[in-house]
Amino acid sequence: TAQFHRPVAGLIGMTEARAVLREHHASLGASVLPFNESVTGGFLRYMSDDDHDRYGSMFRRALGGSALSGVAESTIRALDPVLERVRREGALTSSELRSSLAGVSSAVCLATLFGVAPDDDSHRRLSAALASAFGPPGSPVPRRPDFASVRTIIAGLPVGTRPCALSSIAEAGHDPADPVVLDNLVVVQVLGTANLAGLLAWVLQYLGIESDRWRDGLADDHGGPVATAFVSEVLRHSQSEYLYRRVTSAFDLKGFHIPAGWWLRVGVWESHRQPEAFATPREAMERFAPGAATPEYAPFGIDRHACSGASLSLRSGAAFASTVAAARDVEVVPAGGVVRGFRHWSHWRP
């Protein structure tokens, strides 16, 4: 098949995909998008191995531990006004709901990455700068984004006053004013807002579809293991879609010759729906109890360039699911179908 004006070889099965990416690592490169040229040092996902050895581990540590301590609270705090609006107005249109979910996810990411709360003046200034440079929350990264104004505001934020990724980076002895760090945090903010908003939309969809099965347990769980299992199933069933790698030198795979210049597509969505990996894969079920991990499940990637925001997404999604489920006076009605987002940027969404 062909995508992005390039021929594409497809691969299904996450265990096999891990083996292929490992065995043919030297023949595969990142599938770089144009905005990367404007990111100082390059975006984490597209960095060379040497640069990623330095910055990748830094960001993984920064997006764990204390930086995540306020994710649930930030999610609930941003969601409460949305629920109040639904109670007041009775319903939201699809565009109003998408905008509201993007606002929730933006607030969560701003608090987790930069330690700014919605009532801070720095939250207002940073949100305005991000909107000016990148568009409203949930927008795709422009081809030639302007990081300068956003970087200036972030560089002036107090470090260490609240747990966040920026503070964790400074506490680990790294320079928080490093433009590579700042630009990557900005991209994580923009990408993270869009991806988390998409996940929250699917969480709502399955809260509507599976209300009888899940709602009581989610409401009593307060973002705990039941809610995390629910969000994990949402990720498996609908949100995770693909991984791409650029073929930099030809190699053979299962009797097929993959030429340089092609792209390799790992079908994550398709892999997650294989009966060899999951029993009854097309049904949403309670299959992600603690300790039930499987190598066939990989919603956040499968190699060193995997997403660093996995824990943030799960915690926020779980808090969101439990809070909506506990709002007994708010009815969740599932969408009648799904639509494709902007070209290859956005996931399918309800």
How much is the pLDDT for 280?
Answer: 79
Rounded Cα distance, 110 and 114, in Å: 5
DSSP summary character for residue 339: B
- Provide the token pair at 21: 């990416």
Beta bridge partners of 332: none
In which region does residue 119 sit, left (phi positive, over 0), alpha (psi from -120 to 50) or beta (all else)?
alpha
Per-10-residue mean pLDDT, the chain, length 350? 76 93 94 90 91 92 93 97 95 92 97 93 93 87 84 87 93 92 94 93 92 88 92 86 92 95 93 85 71 79 87 97 95 82 62
Q: Which letter, b or e, does each residue of 37-59 get, where b requires 16 or more Cβ atoms within 10 Å of its Cβ?
A: ebbebbbbbbbeeeebeebbebb
Contact 139, 194 (CB under 8 A): yes
Q: Which letter, b or e, does each residue of 310-339 get, where b requires 16 or more Cβ atoms within 10 Å of its Cβ?
A: bbbbbbbbbbbbbbbbbbeeeebeebeeee
Contact 322, 222 (CB under 8 A): yes
How much is the pLDDT for 27?
Answer: 97
- Provide the token pair at 183: 């630009």
Q: Structural domain boundaries of the chain? A: 2-326
> Tell me: domain 2-326, CATH 1.10.3720.10, correct?
no
- Total-model pTM: 0.92
How much is the pLDDT for 197?
Answer: 94
How much is the pLDDT for 295?
Answer: 82
